[in-house]
């Protein structure tokens, strides 16, 4: 893969128009196939400076390694597409890895991991017009809300306007809401209690002038048995997110069981999972992806 990445750099330097050309000829597909399910691999973490997987602080920093893992994941049966920032999606476009796949652009990456302004999460990535111009299929917005941080209000308003803009282009927007708080050390913590996730669902569902093109991207709560009550807060379609399992042996199987139970709920349409499949705690990428696909 290293030689292919070197080739990408040469193309970018000499023929930047190749990105638009590859996007224009890319074979597209509907968002949902015959099964009505979605299996999306996520790789938008690096653009927010979030490079860690478990104890490996720079695990996602090697672009050649990341692209090789993504290409492996995208080649597996049952994988519908990928979520990433513009640079990663354009690398995959040039590698020819996005043919017939759902391509989802990450829109707000300004809330850098660990920054004082993390919750003032500006839309520094794809805009709705970029996704439409490149013939991509959907967008994703991260919405973290801390009732004690005024920056959350900025993100709320920006997300509402992104909902409107995506709807004008008839493009789905996957909103990923969390209720957060700062701990005594100033570190941002997400609240995965059923009550907090329910509140985040209600808030995210009501953003913008229409919810016709809004999907929700949600975690499984700390109490998996409470997910049915949590999802009763909205009729919007839902995909489950993965998170960082952290390289802990045995944890992967437990996470898969929580996904399996939540996937039985009527509004849940699939999985959008990144680090736990691309950097699995046990086994290789292909094995981890195949196990996740089997849950669908």
Distance CA 69, CA 47 (A): 17
Which pLDDT does position 281 carry in this prediction? 84
Intervals of the chain under pLDDT 50: none
Between the two ends of the chain, the Cα-to-Cα distance in Å is: 30
Question: Rounded to an integer, what distance in angstroms lies between the CA atom of residue 11 and that of residue 109?
Answer: 26
At 213 the pLDDT is 98
Tell me the residue range of the domain where 66 lies.
2-295
DSSP class of residue 53 equals: B
Q: CATH number of the domain at 98, please.
A: 3.20.20.70
Query: Coil, strand, or helix at residue 38?
Result: strand
- List helix spans (H) across the chain: 2-14, 18-25, 63-75, 86-95, 128-133, 151-168, 194-205, 227-231, 251-262, 275-278, 285-295
Instruction: Note the pLDDT tens digit of each residue in 236-285.
Output: 999 999 866 655 656 777 888 889 999 999 999 999 999 999 999 888 99
Pairing outcome for strands 38-43 and 188-190: unpaired
Supply the angle between the helices 2-14 and 18-25 in degrees, to the nearest 10: 110
**What is the number of structural domains in the chain?**
1
> Tens of pLDDT along 53-76?
988 899 999 999 999 999 999 999
At 245 the pLDDT is 61
Nearest to 189 by CA among 148, 249, 248: 148
């Amino acid at each position: 893969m290293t030689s292919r990445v070197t080739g990408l750099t040469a193309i970018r330097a000499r023929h930047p128009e190749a990105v638009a050309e590859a996007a224009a000829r890319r074979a597209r597909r509907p968002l949902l196939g015959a099964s009505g399910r979605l299996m999306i691999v996520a790789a938008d973490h690096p653009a927010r400076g979030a490079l860690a997987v478990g104890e490996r602080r720079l695990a996602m920093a090697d672009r050649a390694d990341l692209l090789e893992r993504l290409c492996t994941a995208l080649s597996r049966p049952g994988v519908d597409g990928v979520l990433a920032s513009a640079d990663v999606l354009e690398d995959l476009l040039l590698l020819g890895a996005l043919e017939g796949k759902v391509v989802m652009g990450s829109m707000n990456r300004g809330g850098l991991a660990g920054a004082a302004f993390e919750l003032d999460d500006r839309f520094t990535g794809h805009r709705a017009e970029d996704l439409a111009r490149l013939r991509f299929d959907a967008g994703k917005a991260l919405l973290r809300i801390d009732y004690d941080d005024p920056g959350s209000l900025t993100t709320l308003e920006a997300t509402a306007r992104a909902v409107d803009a995506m709807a004008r282009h008839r493009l789905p927007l996957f909103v990923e809401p969390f209720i957060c708080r700062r701990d005594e050390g100033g570190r941002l913590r997400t609240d995965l209690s059923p009550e907090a996730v329910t509140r985040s669902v209600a808030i995210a569902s009501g953003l913008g002038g229409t919810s016709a093109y809004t999907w929700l991207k949600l975690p499984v709560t700390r109490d998996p048995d409470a997910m049915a009550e949590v999802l009763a807060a909205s009729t919007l379609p839902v995909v489950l997110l993965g998170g960082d399992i952290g390289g802990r042996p045995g944890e992967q199987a437990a996470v898969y069981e929580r996904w399996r139970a939540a996937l039985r709920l009527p509004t849940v349409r699939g999985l959008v999972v990144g680090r736990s499949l691309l950097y699995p705690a046990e086994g290789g990428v292909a094995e981890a992806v195949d196990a996740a696909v089997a849950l669908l």
